[in-house]
Structure 1
Amino acid sequence: MQTTVSQEAPKGSILYDPKVRGIFYQVVLVAIVAFIIYEAVTNAAENLQRAKIASGFGFLNNTAGFDINQALINFSAAGSTYGDAFIVGLLNTLLVSAFGIVFATILGFIVGIARLSKNWIVSKVAMVYVETIRNIPLLLQLLFWYHAVLAPLPQPRDSINVGNSFFLNARGLFMPKPLFAGDAWVIWVALAVGVVATILFRRWAWKQQAATGKLYPINWISLGFVVGLPVLMWILLALFGANPISFDVPVKGTFNLRGGMTVYPEFVALLLGLVTYTAAFIGEVVRAGILAVSKGQTEASSALGLTSAQNLRLVVIPQAMRVIIPPLTSQYLNITKNSSLAVAIGYPDLVQVFMGTVLNQTGQAIEVVVITMAVYLTISLVTSFVMNIYNRRVAIVER
């Protein structure tokens, strides 16, 4: 009689526990990755030392020695540092990204709704726009806006004059610059109060609508709070002889314009390219989201007497947002990352200023690249975090 010897490990052994094995493999993987990173950093440090290239972030305190035409903070070649140049590039990137997200969203929703229009011409024009714009590389579109549209504008001496306050030429759009006096803080306080009042009123109006069904002119009242209160305070200050806000109007000279504020053509070209390109993709996202809403919802709202505009604004779009938000987040991230193409038309964004001029002058390749990558990663993570919060608010709650 043969006896079979069991090949199984004793029940008390932890060697064959799946959880233990999983933890062991993860520890080994982390150790391997840490070793690779250590070797890469050590090797890079040795190569930099051998090439007599300084390392570290001390270069950020050195004088920059170059000018930047568009700077949201005070910047000069003699008095500003490479750290200041980094901040200027970062702010310019955030500026064009913020405007790009707002305008691309508006245009994208218009295009997406237009593609579903019952008007044949409107739907076909929107279709041609989408199929044309999204199939042309963004870099070519930026070069088109910059060289073909903005470059042919007249020279400063032949500027297009609008009301002796706005001047348009090949160097940009020159417009009045607001100057705030010491008592302008009253207007800013009024604006803050208006924003808070708008938020509180909208919440109250939504609760009243849910409880009683009564609709309030939320948008008009909100506009009155946000715009009306600051304007009212401005008028009151003016009646008492104060001048909280004045304007520095540009003056046309022999060869150029002096004073005012300037919107440079590089910024306009980059913004137009990002908006028109991204809006084509957002339009398709919006169209898909609207088509995902059941037709029964539209039929029910029509039976209740809602107009087509009310049906779209109050019924279809709120439900479509649950489908629109995830891919829309990706398009917002693309706007920020695609803004790095600004180097092709000379817009002083983070890549052009920091990875271009600063890197060429300092030679701190590793530090500059790491900082730039960390900035774009941080912007993307913050954008995703905010959009995920909003996505959870509009998501369907399972019952």
Structure 2
Amino acid sequence: TFRNIPILLQILFWYNVVLAALPGPRQSLSYLDAFFLNNRGLYIPRPILESGFISVIIAFFIAIAGIFYLSKWAKKRHDDTGEEFPVFWVSLAILIAGPTLVYFLSGTPASLEYAELKGFNFVGGWTLTPEFLALAFALSIYPATYIAEAVRAGIEAVPKGQKEAASALGLKESVILKKVVLPQALRIIIPPVINQYLNLMKNSSLATAIGYPELVTLFAGTALNQVGQAIEIILMTMAVYLVISISISIVMNIINAKMQIKER
């Protein structure tokens, strides 16, 4: 399985075996004549935003604020009456319909720039390099295996009697999963997931093995060559990783604290 293969080996596999075997630019794999994949990377359309697009961004944040207050209202309504409100679908409709409506009312202030083959390579659009793709694949699949195992263990740790009691009350399977199983399982899932997010951040430094610039390369490479102060640069690198790790831990621990059982 993927979790038994070292992360560095997976990065090298995706970069040197999978992506290197892709065809050249002129034989690129294309989708809808807008997305192109070859051994030089993935080419995707690049959005061109005009001055009027700021109204769409404002509408997006207003929609998020509306969803926040809708969730609080739905929770209060549920506590008072016991009736469920389709928060997810209504929130999704608000998040999509609001900015979309403003987008068209403001005269569609955005367009897409597509990549075009000119000569021996593509120009225009956004380019995701093979180094970035290899890193993205490896750092997505490797932690995902551990997170999936943590989720499976958390769900199976919930006593079967809880599910049987909820089923005896006539609750649907989706409601049982959402209201009975997951609230208890999350208390078991979150602690190991915190470790995986921290490992993911630290494993990103392995990108230097395939020449992709990241924090270690930036500090220990570019900055060190400019100033020549090795000890100070290494301390700065350690400080940056420490701040990021502590920030991730604080956020995840806040979420974990909210999921814990609160005694009256």
Which band: TM-score by shorter chain?
Answer: over 0.9
Residue number in structure 2 paired with 1:160: 29
Amino acid at match of 2:178: R
CA shift, 1:317, in A, is 1.0
Determine if the alignment matches structure 1 residue 274 to structure 2 residue 143.
Answer: no
Determine if the alignment matches structure 1 residue 148 to structure 2 residue 13.
Answer: no
Amino acid at match of 2:95: V
Which structure dedicates a bigger proportion of its chain to strand? 2
User: How is 1:91-130 mapped onto 2 (pairs within 5 angstroms)?
Assistant: none
User: How is 1:54-133 mapped onto 2 (pairs within 5 angstroms)?
Assistant: 132-133=1-2
Determine if the alignment matches structure 1 residue 183 to structure 2 residue 183.
Answer: no
Residue number in structure 2 paired with 1:376: 241
Residue number in structure 2 paired with 1:206: 75
Residue number in structure 2 paired with 1:314: 179
CA shift, 1:162, in A, is 2.1
Amino acid at match of 1:349: E
CA shift, 1:284, in A, is 2.1
User: Which whole-Å CA distance do the structure 2 matches of 1:234 and 1:284 have between them?
Assistant: 42
- Which 5+ residue runs of structure 1 have no aligned equivalent? 1-131
CA shift, 1:220, in A, is 1.2
Amino acid at match of 1:186: S
CA shift, 1:215, in A, is 1.5
2:205 corresponds, among 333, 337, 340, to 340
| Aligned sequence identity (%) | 50
- Kept in 2, the 8 Å contact 1:180–1:245? The answer is yes
Residue number in structure 1 paired with 2:263: 398
CA shift, 1:288, in A, is 2.3
User: Which whole-Å CA distance do the structure 2 matches of 1:260 and 1:380 have between them?
Assistant: 34
User: Which whole-Å CA distance do the structure 2 matches of 1:197 and 1:169 have between them?
Assistant: 43
1:244 corresponds, among 91, 109, 126, to 109
2:194 corresponds, among 322, 326, 329, to 329
Amino acid at match of 1:234: Y
Determine if the alignment matches structure 1 residue 301 to structure 2 residue 166.
Answer: yes
User: How is 1:8-47 mapped onto 2 (pairs within 5 angstroms)?
Assistant: none
User: Which whole-Å CA distance do the structure 1 matches of 2:106 and 2:222 have between them?
Assistant: 46
Determine if the alignment matches structure 1 residue 353 to structure 2 residue 218.
Answer: yes
- Which 5+ residue runs of structure 2 have no aligned equivalent? none
- Kept in 2, the 8 Å contact 1:250–1:261? The answer is yes
- Kept in 2, the 8 Å contact 1:177–1:248? The answer is yes
